[in-house]
Amino acid sequence: MVLTNEYILQRLTEKFGEAITQVEEPYGLLTFEVPKELNLKVMQFLYDDQELGFRFLTDLCGVHYPDQLGRELAVVYHLHNMVQNVRIRMKVFTDVQQPDVYTATSLFQSANWQERETYDFYGINFVGHPNLKRILNVEEMDYFPLRKEFPLEDQTRIDKDDEMFGRGGSI
Amino acid sequence: MSEIITQEQHHVKLPEGSIGKQTTTLNLGPTHPATHGVFQNILEVDGERIVSAEQTVGYIHRAFEKIAERRPLYQITPLTDRLNYCSAPINNMGWHLTCEKLLGVKTPKRVDYLRVIIMELARISDHLICNSIVGVDTGAFTGFLYVMQYRELIYEIYEEVCGSRLTTNIGRIGGFERDFSNTAFQKIERFLKEYPVVLKEFENLFQRNRIFMERTMGTGGIAADRALNYGFTGPNLRATGVDYDVRVTAPYSSYEDFEFDIPVGTTGDNYDRWLVRNQEMWQSLRIIEQAYRKIQDFKGEEASVYHADVPEYYLPKKQDVYTKMEALIWHFKIIMGEIDMPKGEVYQAVEGGNGEVGYYLISDGGRAPFRLHFRRPCFIYYQAFSEISEGAMLSDAIITLSSLNLIAGEMDA
């Protein structure tokens, strides 16, 4: 049978009911949100189900929405059913004070480094991860650089004159 | 011995348990010539056998994802060059396709075919490097030096199309910055004529070469299910027997118009990876030939189209900027990055030299991406190296490193 977005959604809502929220289809890719406590359960269901069979984790990354109080950080999973060639996108939101999300490493080995990367840049704490430490940045770093509160350039720098580059400056 | 001289007396701090240890710790990299890139492997070796391997990456991390959050779309193209710099045009095209998907731009067929030619040339140059480097690491330098001539020819074609060679910044949103010159077409023709002979010779040098076969067969292998679990894509996955290729499963840039095969291996070892890459070069040649013929078939006005009509994102001709009001306005707005893009979320994947190169772009309607994430195949499959190399000989692990085609630029983003 052909795996359509409607069918995937129907199966998910049958199993998890109200937990599946924010359903969208931007550019044809089924996108939905699940509560962060359920991320592993939903992924396990998507993995194990004979018809759904999302057994390939294409991509895992974090996003920071500083304006959404209580749900500032997001983890975005792109899952792929290679047999039927269907992709879905699953999101999990967490607050920035205690950003705990269950790790997906028990299902996908590929999540290991991707979660470390997400931790490195967003500080999302993947509960149960076997080796959660920084991967691309130096270990001594004490902030999470891809969060929005870190400007790209240090705006307080005084060792160069930005006046000529249209970026503020002394005038 | 350890009873007589304690660590404290010598004022040295050795790691816990290092005196009674039976194995040797060996640092392979970050600047070891055999790693062909800046990354480190901390190997625990027992004689010449690897007991465990731990990787350190990030030596050339340049925070592209952060930089991209401050740049208009067209200024992000040069960042993508520097991911997999062995096949920069594929990354560039992937980025253009992502933007086009977000903006709803439809490219003309001729543009698609021109892109396909460039992308397949890039794939050949990528595989060429990887396969010949596997040769170098097994002790055969000749093949590497010989095929470099043809990588040079590919670079000359890039140069003719966009002006640069390694980090190409080729193409624009909607098409190309200029049409292919006659010289470019002549060089493509020359490549199509001469390269098959060279590739055949290169193949003869390795494919049934007993030394090469014995060095590579049965080393660095991974099973299909492990490879999938580790997120392998591209030639490394196909070598395990999974026929997953983005060009076929989610065709972009009119790949559906072409006739080509997806070569697959069986064991996923170094030899299979080599064979898959080698066969892919033949398939790429097939695609380039077809695309070249299709381009020759365009008649009339269609025969000179090289970009889509998207004035908001495609820079007008310099001559028009000086003489036409509208072109001047668009030029100004594009250069100053003053165009708001539509809100949306896009994931676009292309088949890069190493696998699925994905771009996940979130736009909040501003002038720069709200978030841009690169799916870098290298970064994802390098995790498997410790599993692959455990129990292997050190010299085999070196071949595995090069046959996985790890590109530090892609790993670190």
How many Cβ atoms are within 10 Å of B211's Cβ, its own excluded? 11
Instruction: Answer yes or no: is pLDDT of B19 > 50.
Output: yes
pLDDT (0 to 100) of residue B3 = 55
Domain boundaries, chain B: 64-409
Nearest to B375 by CA among B407, B348, B345, B402: B348
Cβ within 8 Å of residue B65, ≥6 positions away = A121, A146, B371, B372, B373, B374, B413
Instruction: Answer yes or no: is pLDDT of B34 > 80.
Output: no
Nearest to B345 by CA among B370, B310, B367, B375: B370
Residues of A in contact with B230 (CB under 8 A): 109-110
Residue-wise pLDDT for B75-128, tens only, equals: 999 999 999 999 999 999 999 999 999 999 999 999 999 999 999 999 999 999
Contact A82 B226 (CB under 8 A): no
Averaged pLDDT of chain B: 91
Contact B229 A78 (CB under 8 A): no
Average pLDDT over residues A137-157: 81
CA distance B15 to chain A (A): 18
Nearest to B307 by CA among B181, B177, B183, B163: B177
pLDDT band (50, 70, 90) for residue B354? very high
pLDDT (0 to 100) of residue A2 = 84
**pTM, entire model:** 0.91
Instruction: Answer yes or no: is pLDDT of B355 > 80.
Output: yes
Residue B67 contacts A, CB cutoff 8 Å: yes
Instruction: Answer yes or no: is pLDDT of B20 > 90.
Output: no
Contact A26 B345 (CB under 8 A): yes
Question: Under CATH, domain A5-153 is a member of which superfamily?
Answer: NADH:ubiquinone oxidoreductase Nqo5 subunit (3.30.460.80)
Average pLDDT over residues A79-91: 94
Pairing of strands B40-46, B49-56: antiparallel
Domain boundaries, chain A: 5-153
- Which pair of structure tokens corresponds to residue B35? 């790693």
Name the CA radius of gyration of chain B, rounded.
24
**Test the B interface: residue of A23, A93, A113 with most B CBs within 10 Å:** A113
Contact B66 A136 (CB under 8 A): no
CATH fit for domain B64-409, picks 3.40.50.11540, 2.60.120.10, 1.10.645.10, 3.40.640.10: 1.10.645.10
Residue-wise pLDDT for B165-192, tens only, equals: 999 999 999 999 999 999 999 999 999 9
Instruction: Answer yes or no: is pLDDT of B214 > 60.
Output: yes
Instruction: Answer yes or no: is pLDDT of B282 > 70.
Output: yes
For residues B367 and B71, is the Cβ–Cβ distance under 8 A?
Answer: no
Contact A27 B101 (CB under 8 A): yes
How many Cβ atoms are within 10 Å of B387's Cβ, its own excluded? 13
pLDDT band (50, 70, 90) for residue A171? very low
Higher pLDDT, B132 or B33: B132
Pairing of strands A30-34, A86-94: parallel
Contact B230 A146 (CB under 8 A): no
Residues of B in contact with A85 (CB under 8 A): 249-250
Instruction: Answer yes or no: is pLDDT of B307 > 50.
Output: yes
ipTM for this model: 0.89
Residue-wise pLDDT for B250-261, tens only, equals: 999 999 999 999
User: Distance from first CA to last CA of chain B, Å, rounded?
Assistant: 48
Cβ within 8 Å of residue B166, ≥6 positions away = B81, B85, B88, B155
pLDDT (0 to 100) of residue B1 = 47
CA angle at residue B232 from A26 to B282, to 5 degrees?
100
Averaged pLDDT of chain A: 89
Residue of A nearest to B69 (CA): A152
Instruction: Answer yes or no: is pLDDT of A56 > 50.
Output: yes
Contact B230 A110 (CB under 8 A): yes
